Amino acid sequence: MTARVWRAVCVLAFGLAIWLSAGVAEARYASFVMDADTLDVLYAKNADTRNYPASLTKIMTLYMLFDALERGKVTLKTRMKVSQRAAGQPETNIDLRAGQTLSVEDAILALVTRSANDAATVVAEHLAKSEVHFAIAMTEKARNIGMTHTTFRNASGLPNRRQKSTARDMAKLGLRIQRDFPQYYHYFKTEKFTYKGRTYKNHNNLLGRYAGTDGIKTGYTRASGFNLVTSVHSNGHHIIAVVFGGRTAKSRDKHMVSLLNRGFKKAIQIARNRVPAPIPVARPEPGSDAPVTVQLAAAQSSVSDDILQGSGSEDLSDRDWGIQVGAYSSRAPAEQMIRTARTHLKKVLADSTDSVEQITRDHGTVFRSRIFGFTEADARNACAMLVRKHVPCVPVPGETGEEVATMPTGG
C-alpha cells in the first residue's frame, strides 16, 4: 500500500471516528483560570468535567519530548524517522513522507505552530517505539504531575472516545511545562515556522494580540469544540487560563480575553487584600536599648496598596526592589533560572542577593526565583532586558514581597 493510499484510508477512518464521537457526546463548556505564581484559583466553571482535549494533547507530547531532551535521550538535532503510519496521519500535518527524517527541533516547531499530527506520531514512535506505548507513558506522566482526571490514547489528540482531560488538569500541565522546562518553553511563543518552503502560522491567535501572551496551545475536533490553554505575564502576575468547548475559534478567543481580564482584576484584588504577616524583631535583653518586636503588617499593607495604585514607591528604600524570573515546581530549576538571569545581567547584578522562595497552596508548591538589590527603575529596566532574551521577569518590591499588579491591554 502506497503512502498516498494509506493517508486516504486514515483520513476516512478518522473522519468516521469524529462522526461517531460527535454522535455520542457534544462538546461541553469548561474553563479554569489560575494565578501561576500564588496558585490562587481565579475562576472555575465545570473545571473537573472530563472532555476531549483535542490538540491540547500535544502539550503533553511536547512535555515528554522536552523531558527526553533534558535527560539527554535526544538533542535538538536528532533525526527521527518518518514511518508509513506517521506519514498517513490526516490534517493538520506538514506533509511528511515515509522514509524521511525529521529533526527534534523541527518537530517541536511543527507541533507548536501547525499542530502537526504527523509530527506528533513521529515523536511518539521515536521515543516509545509505538504510539500506543507512548500514550501509556503520557498517561503515567500525567498522573505523576497531578493530572488525576486525564487519560491519553494517542500523541496528537485525534478522536478517541477514551482520551479525555479537564480544564483544571490542562492548567496544571500548562504550568508544569513552564516550570519544569523553562529552557524550552520559549518555543510556544513562535508565531511562524517554515519547513521545506512552506510557512505555517501559529494557530494561537492571542500571540501578539493580547499583551503578555507567551503561549501555549489550541485544539479542535468536532467532538471537543474549540479549546485553548493560554499563558500571560503582565507586570507582576502570571495567569494560566483554559477554555474547553468553544463554538468557534473567534468566540473562544473572545471569551478567553474576557476570562483573562477578569482574572487579572481578581488577582489584583487578592494581592491588595493579602496582608503580610508581622515581621518579628528579636526581644532585647533586660536593660538593653535594642528595639522590641514591631508589628509592621498595617504599614506594609498601605505601602503595597500604594504600589498597586502605581504610586508611593518612593516610600521604599532606594534598593529594596527585586525581580522575579519565574516560579517552578522544584528548587533546582528555580536556582538555574537565577543563574541564567545573571548571565544576561552581569554588571547590573553586582550587589544583588538571590532568593528562592517556597510558596505552598492547596493546589501545590512553587519555588519563586527572585533577585533583590535594585532601585525600582533598575528592576523594571532589568526585566525589560531579560524579556528581550526570552527570560520571564517581573519587578517586585522587596519590603512586602508582593508583585506589582497592573491590568494588561489587548484583545
Q: What is the mean pLDDT of the chain?
A: 81
pLDDT band at 344 (very low <50, low <70, confident <90, very high): confident
The domain boundary, picked from 219, 239, 270, lies at 270
**Final residue before a domain boundary, out of 230, 255, 270:** 270
In a domain, 292, yes or no: yes
pTM of the model: 0.68
Q: Are 246 and 320 contained in the same domain? A: no
Tell me whether residue 403 is in a domain: no
Residue 178: pLDDT above 90?
yes
pLDDT digits (tens, 9 = 90+) for 30-59: 999 999 988 899 999 999 999 999 999 999
Residue 332: CATH number of its domain? 3.30.70.1070
Q: Flag whether 39 is in a domain.
A: yes
Are 309 and 250 in a shared domain?
no
Q: Could you tell me if 227 and 220 are in contact, meaning their C-beta atoms sit under 8 angstroms apart?
A: yes
Question: Which tops the pLDDT comparison, 241 or 318?
Answer: 241
pLDDT at 43: 96
Are 371 and 322 contacting, i.e. CB atoms less than 8 angstroms apart? yes
* Any domain includes 222: yes
Look at residue 405 and tell me if it is in a domain: no
Catalytic sites, residue numbers: 55, 58, 115
Identify whether residues 189 and 291 lie together within a single domain: no
Same domain, 249 and 287: no
pLDDT by residue (tens digit) across 57-86?
999 999 999 999 999 999 999 999 999 999
Q: Are residues 184 and 324 in the same domain?
A: no
Tens digits of residue pLDDT in 199-240: 999 999 999 999 999 999 999 999 999 999 999 998 778 999
Residues 234 and 326 in one domain: no
Does residue 140 sit in the same domain as residue 41? yes
Percent of the chain with pLDDT over 90: 55
- Same-domain check for residues 175 and 281: no
Residue 227 belongs to domain with CATH number: 3.40.710.10
The domain of 108 spans: 3-270
Query: What's the number of domains the chain is made of?
Result: 2
Considering the domain architecture, whether residues 216 and 286 belong to the same structural domain is answered as no
| 207 lies in the same domain as 316 | no
Check residue 139 and give its pLDDT.
98
Residue 339 lies in a domain: yes
Looking at the structure, tell me whether residues 266 and 293 fall in a common domain: no
105 and 249 in a single domain? The answer is yes
